[in-house]
Amino acid sequence: MARDPVEGRAGAGRPVSAWRAAGPVSGPIANLLDMFAVLLTVVRRLLMWLDPTGRVTSESPPGSLGPSPFTVLAGMRHTVFTRRYWSARVSRLRHSRTTAVPTIFKPELVLPSVSVPAGVAVPWPEQPVDLTQLSYEWEGRRRTVEDFMIDRETDGLVFIKDGTLVFEAYANGFEAHTLHHCWSSTKAYVSTLIGNAIHLGLIDDVADPIERYLPAVRGSAWEGTSLHHLLRMESGVAWDEHTSHLFRNSQFAQWQRLTLDYLTDGRLGRTRDAFLLGLPRVEAPGARFNYNSANTQVLAWALEQVHAKPFAQVLAEQLWQPLGAQADAATYTDRVGAAPASMGLYATPRDFARLGQLMLRGGLAPDGRRLLSDAWVAQATEFSELSERQYGYQWWENGPELAGFTASGFTGNVISVAPAAEMVGVRTAHDFSIPPDYSRPSLESPVDMGREEFQALFAAVARELETS
């Protein structure tokens, strides 16, 4: 089958329109029109979650993932309409000067999704321990696990000790079987699949330039960049996820382009791969750490090429099924089926924990099969000097409360590994907090998503289980 030289993927026999050939529409007016089209789509999808009488239902529209925003809000009613919920917020304002803003955003409202099928399930051994009233110290106060669930918009907590499920809790319309978006924690799956490809002999070395495995990037800003620099966010390719001006924010711009490309059947916008190829270089590889989701997407594109399969299939065959996942996962895609793999995975908290357990076991699957080398696990969790020893191969350092490493995502979603305690902790959430004196909240705001507090909670859980 012929491949589109721009998209680098199997073509669908669709003629390239004059609009598409001319490139994406740009400029302030075009941006406003784009946003209007996206808004209309979101409103239409949201209305699909309502029955004709206007009564909120738990039914999701076709292709949707997880509960609807309405279901989440309905699930919160048991806590929102309590004195305890609001007194907790007053306490947070007094102690940490932050205000909670629940963020319920579902990318599949505007983008399609595909399944990541599970294989033969390997259920977790269970030995439940009630940790809801376990206390820990945070910002000079004693708090409990239950407090954290209630006032930090936490949808799910799972703790694995010595390969055994010891605690789980759910809230806000989420249950053990409900898929949850893990956002940028997806990056750790891409990193792990690179390590797996090396183990399989499909990739020789992370020192190799990306074009060796992804010829489509020759002539672009990505040419000459090693897999090592991509994994460590040191590519030098232009990207800004933090600017307060949304229309100049790289992440937002890609969302905009992908959405318009999907909604207009390729007449407006760009696919994932076309967008990536259009990015410029601003500095040499290895010069600086810059958190760049495009790096991860280029790595996912390379994985698709070396396996000759879509990302969702690679993830299913190389990780999801060997790890014994109990439920199908899903990831969203662009119009032609390319996954924005830096942030697109939906799964249950129990199944998210399996990635942490794989790393904890040095790359061994539940059946003893080796998916990663010991050397890869060590290399992936060696934190770079350029990141001030906070970032490795798409894994973050845990912080002072708990030695180890974490896959971290937007709104406080984490898969955290504590090797010394032989533990994995998973949190799913929609927690987004900003300082109250910040007059114009933006992506540049010093946001607090409960991730640091989770590490303090995790450390307390580890200590409790060690002594019990």
* In the chain, domain spans: 107-206+293-467
Predicted confidence (pLDDT) per residue in 370-425, tens digit: 999 999 999 999 999 999 999 999 999 998 889 999 999 999 999 999 999 999 99
pLDDT at 95 over 70: yes
Query: Which of 400, 407, 393, 312 shows the shortest CA–CA distance to 355?
Result: 407
pLDDT at 435 over 60: yes
Place of tokens 């102690």: 95
* Mean pLDDT rounded to a whole number for the chain: 87
- Residue 270: count of CB within 10 angstroms of its CB: 25
pLDDT of 45 strictly over 80: no
Looking at per-residue pLDDT, the higher value among 220 and 87 belongs to: 220
Structure tokens at 432: 């987004």
pTM of the model: 0.90
> pLDDT value at position 25?
46
**Following DSSP, what letter does each residue of 406-417 receive, concatenated?**
EEEEGGGEEEEE
Instruction: Kindly list the distances between the CA atom of residue 310 and the CA atoms of 20, 79, 145, 334, in Å, as whole numbers in the listed order.
Output: 24, 41, 40, 12
Report the pLDDT value the prediction gives residue 353, as an integer from 0 to 100.
98
Share of the chain above pLDDT 70, in %: 86
Please state, in angstroms and as integers, the Cα–Cα distance from residue 348 to each residue in 29, 131, 355, following that order. Answer: 41, 20, 12
Please report the pLDDT score of residue 58 as a whole number.
Answer: 42
Binned at pLDDT 50, 70 and 90, residue 437 comes out as low
Given a cut of 90, whether residue 74 has pLDDT beyond it is no
Mean pLDDT of 202-212: 98
Q: Residue 84 has what pLDDT?
A: 85
* Nearest Cα to Cα of residue 252 among 443, 10, 458, 110: 443
Reported as type and span, the H/E element at residue 114 is: strand 113-116
DSSP category for residue 357: H
For residue range 1-26, list pLDDT tens digits in order.
Answer: 222 222 233 322 222 222 233 344 45
CA 181 to centroid of chain Cα atoms: 7
- The pLDDT tens digits of the residues spanning 151-172 come to 899 999 999 999 999 999 999 9
pLDDT band of residue 461 (cuts 50, 70, 90) is very high
Model confidence band, residue 275 (pLDDT cutoffs 50, 70, 90): very high
Shortest CA distance to 353 belongs to which of 418, 448, 410?
Answer: 418
What's the pLDDT score for residue 444?
A: 47
At 227, the pLDDT band (50, 70, 90 cuts) reads very high
More confidently predicted of 266 and 92: 266
pLDDT given at position 416: 98
* pLDDT for the residue 401: 85
Greatest alpha-carbon span in the chain: 69
Which of these ranges, 41-50, 120-129, 195-204, has the smallest mean pLDDT? 41-50
The CA-atom distances, in angstroms, between 354 and each of 127, 235, 363 are: 17, 29, 11
pLDDT at 298: 98
- Does CATH place domain 107-206+293-467 in 3.40.710.10? yes
Q: Which range has highest mean pLDDT (70-84, 95-109, 115-129, 440-454)?
A: 115-129
| pLDDT(87) > 80 | yes
Mean pLDDT of 63-78: 80
